[in-house]
Amino acid sequence: MLQSISSFKPERIFSVLGLPVHLTSDYTDWLYQRVLEKQGTHVVTLNAEMAILTQTDEVLASIIKSADLVVPDGAGVILYMRLRGLNHRRCPGIELSEALLKRIGNSAPSTSICFFGGSPGVSEKAASVWRQRLPGLQISTQHGYVRDEEQQLWLSQLKQEQPQIIFVGLGVPRQELWIKQHRHLCPNSIWIGVGGSFDIWAGTKVRAPKWLRNNNLEWSYRLYQEPHRWRRMLALPKFLLLSLTKN
């Protein structure tokens, strides 16, 4: 079901298994305007695995439904929409994040950015790569293995710095829960869950070849790289079945 939404928000909302997907022609430009206006925003990059999790996880479902921007990240989400007559492009979270970083680096490099998550050293290496690509980017980092005794110090530092964009790479659903819990610390920031993007940017992992991405088969390459993910991949046939049978 489609409905219009107000100014400075995406053009339409489409329901995918009861979850909102915001549709607009330029997600990067919309987010960039939110940065300039200092409008706090929680971005969720929705895929089939997340959608299936929400069928039994009411907390995650509630977080996604209340997010300011939900983009169609996964091929399954795009298939679901196409089966219902809507042809919309896929918006992978890593590509959206990269486009936003490039836009910021080329037009507003003084914007403060935070990379939080990943194994020790990974977020800093990812930040170093981006600083080399776009000199002037101000990026602070913190790995995702913060010990309990360090947690409050890190959160106090985050609150003091008030970065304008916060990329959180803790994996699904942990990153969405973390953002929901701590968003009040930086209410005017853009918060984006980026999964394993830091590993890709740092070069510790490799993204699927472009031909697989273009054919909606990126998930197969991830399974090839990380065969231990097979249980998580069981969400894909479940999502396909719901896509074919649920109104």
Domain with 154 in it:
3-202
Residue 50 located in a structural domain: yes
User: What pLDDT sits at residue 238?
Assistant: 83
Task: Measure the CA angle with vertex 55, ends 96 and 186; round to 5°.
Answer: 45
User: What pLDDT sits at residue 86?
Assistant: 92
pLDDT at 7 over 70: no
Total domains in the fold of the chain? 1
- C-alpha–C-alpha distance, residues 142 and 62, integer Å: 27
Residue 231 located in a structural domain: no
Q: What percent of the chain has pLDDT over 70?
A: 83
Residue located via tokens 């430009």: 29
Q: Are strands 3-4 and 12-16 parallel, antiparallel or unpaired?
A: antiparallel
User: What pLDDT sits at residue 208?
Assistant: 54
Residue 126 located in a structural domain: yes
Residue 238 located in a structural domain: no
Q: What is the mean pLDDT of the chain?
A: 87
Residue 210 located in a structural domain: no
Give me 181's structure tokens. Answer: 């819990």
- State the DSSP H helix or E strand holding residue 148, giving kind and residue range, or none if neither: helix 148-161
Residue 188 located in a structural domain: yes
User: What pLDDT sits at residue 136?
Assistant: 84
Higher pLDDT, 22 or 242: 22
pTM recorded for the entire structure = 0.88
Residue 218 located in a structural domain: no
pLDDT digits (tens, 9 = 90+) for 115-142: 999 999 999 999 999 999 998 899 999 9
Task: Specify the 3-state DSSP secondary structure of 190.
Answer: strand
**CA dist 212 to 149, 216, 236, Å?**
43, 6, 17
pLDDT at 247 over 70: no
Residue 60 located in a structural domain: yes
CATH number at residue 83: 3.40.50
User: What pLDDT sits at residue 179?
Assistant: 97
pLDDT digits (tens, 9 = 90+) for 15-44: 999 999 999 889 999 999 999 999 999 999
Give me 185's structure tokens. Answer: 């610390």
